Amino acid sequence: MIRYVLKRIIIGVLVVVAVTILLFLFMQLLPGDPVTMIAGERVPPAKIEEIRRSWGLDKPVYLQYFYWLSHVVVGDLGVSYVTKLPVSLLVFSRIAPTLQLTLTSLVLSFIMGIPIGMVAALKRGEGVDHALTGFITFFYSMPSYWLGLMLMLIFGLYLKILPVSGSFSSQSLILPVATLTLPSVATFARLMRTETLETLGEDFVRTAWAKGLPMRRIIFIHILRNALIPATTMFFLYLPWVVSGAVIVEAVFAYPGMGQLFYKSVLRQDYPVIQSIILIIAVLTVVSNILADLLSAFLDPRIRIGGRRE
C-alpha cells in the first residue's frame, strides 16, 4: 500500500512539473508584453529595457522557467508585477475564501445529489423521476456565469433579499454557493441515478430479496453501499473542477477569492500570480486524484491494493 502511494506521489510530481512547463510555454503565446504592464505607458525605451532586465524577462524562456521553478521549490512564488507584493501573500490570503466557497458547495452538492439521484432511480419512470431528471438536466446544462447572473437578477434585484456581490456577511455567500452548487448537485444526482439503476439490476440485490430482507435494508445497505463508491470518488475528482469553476463565479459575484484574483491577474498579465494559481490547482488536482483512488480502494475491497491476503 505504501509503495503504491509513493508511486502515485512520484507520478503526481511529474504531472505537476509537466503542467508548469506547458504553462510557461502558453504564457509566451499570450498577447501583449508584461513589461508595459509593469512600467505603465509613456516610459522611455531605455527604461523598459532596464525593467525587462531587472525582472529577468530578457533571458530565454527555459532559463526563466528554471529560475522560477528553483524558487517555487523552496516556497518562493515570486513577486507580482502589478502590486509588487509577494505572490504568496496575495494568493494565500485568497485561498481561505475560495475553499470556503468551494467546499461548502461541494459538500452541499454531495448531500443533495445522492438522495436526489437515488430517489430518481428507485422511482424510475414515475413522475418523481421525470421531475428530478428534468431538474438534473436543466442545471447540468446551464453555464454558471449565466446562472449566476439570473440568480443575481431574481434574488438581488427583484426580490432584494440577498446581496449581489462582495463578501461582507455570510448572506453574501448564498448566491455564489448556489451558482456553484446547482450544476454540481445535478452532476452528483446524475451519477447516483445511473449507479443506483445499475446496482438495482445486480444479481446480489435479487439475492438480498431472496433472503427476506426488508426493502429499507436492501436499499440503504446493499444498494447504497455499492452505488456510493463512484460518488465518493467523484467528490474528490470534482474538487479541482469546482475550484476552477469558482474563477467565473467569483468574478461574477466580485467574491474576494483566488478565482477573482486569477481573473484580474490574467487581464493584467501578472504572470507570477497566474503561474502560482495554476500551480496550486494542478497540485490540488493531483492530490485529489490520489485521494480519490485511495478512497475507492478503501471502499471497494476488490481493488484493495496489497491489502491483507486471505
- Summarize as ranges the residues that interact with other proteins (CB under 8 A): 202-204, 206-214, 217, 222, 225-226, 229, 299-302, 310
Nearest CB to other proteins, comparing residues 154 and 215: 215
Nearest CB to other proteins, comparing residues 50 and 198: 198
Nearest CB to other proteins, comparing residues 160 and 302: 302
Tell me how far the alpha carbon of residue 206 is from its chain's centroid: 38
**Contact predicate 152/164, CB 8 Å:** yes
**Smallest separation, CB 226 to other proteins (Å):** 6
**Smallest separation, CB 236 to other proteins (Å):** 19
**Smallest separation, CB 215 to other proteins (Å):** 8
Q: What residues contact 192, with CB distance under 8 A and at least 6 apart?
A: 113, 114, 116, 117, 118, 121, 227, 231
Q: What residues contact 8, with CB distance under 8 A and at least 6 apart?
A: 290, 293
**Smallest separation, CB 179 to other proteins (Å):** 35
d(CA 223, CA 231): 13
**Smallest separation, CB 129 to other proteins (Å):** 13
Nearest CB to other proteins, comparing residues 112 and 299: 299
**Contact predicate 199/205, CB 8 Å:** yes
Nearest CB to other proteins, comparing residues 44 and 201: 201
**Smallest separation, CB 124 to other proteins (Å):** 9
**Letter for the amino acid at 207?**
T
CA dihedral 92, 249, 29, 43 (to 10 degrees): -70
The three grid cell numbers given for residue 173, joined into one nine-digit string: 455567500
Nearest CB to other proteins, comparing residues 51 and 297: 297
Torsion over CA: 99, 105, 108, 112 (sign): negative
